[in-house]
Structure 1
Amino acid sequence: MAEKRRKFDAEFREGAVRIVSETGRPIAQVAKDLGINETTLSTWVSRAKKAGGDGTLSVPEREELARLRRQD
């Protein structure tokens, strides 16, 4: 029987990416320490790099979020 897929919230993903980027530790070691699959963490790191950083919002994204919050 297949294993149930685990879900990770954005805060956990961002924290894991931050550990890799700030410490320079290998993805494999960080993944092992966090108890997650190396491929999963590698995907998160890759996406963060493509998004322009460590997984945090860019300036235009923050501006749009602020604008959207004001609309409510």
Structure 2
Amino acid sequence: MSKQRRSFSVEFKHDAAALVVDQGYSVVEACKSMGVGETALRRWVDQLREERGGVTPNSKALTAE
């Protein structure tokens, strides 16, 4: 039996990353709070920081245009 992959909305990803970037949570604390894996959250945090720095994302943007 294969494990089904979870998908998350852009809003959820933004909110989870914002816990780390804006509210001072550690990645581990935010993972436990939001119920997501550490690798995924680190990716979202990196993407949010890049977008706020003016870098255009390769995937769906986490920030408003």
Name the amino acid aligned to 1:21. V
Structure 1 unaligned blocks of 5 or more: 62-72
Contact kept, 8 Å, 1:32 with 1:38, in 2: the verdict is no
Gaps of 5+ in 2: 54-61
In 1, distance between residues paired with 2:38 and 2:2?
19
RMSD, matched Cα: 1.5
Question: Residue 63 of structure 2 aligns with which residue?
Answer: 56
Please give the alpha-carbon distance, in whole angstroms, between the structure 1 residues aligned to 2:24 and 2:2. Answer: 34
User: Residue 31 of structure 1 corresponds to which residue in structure 2?
Assistant: 31
SS at match of 1:3: coil
Distance in 1 of aligned mates of 2:50 and 2:29: 22
Matched residues, number: 57
Amino acid at match of 1:17: A
Give the Å deviation of 1:35: 0.8
Higher relative contact order (CA 8 A, sep 6+): 2
TM value normalised by structure 2: 0.74
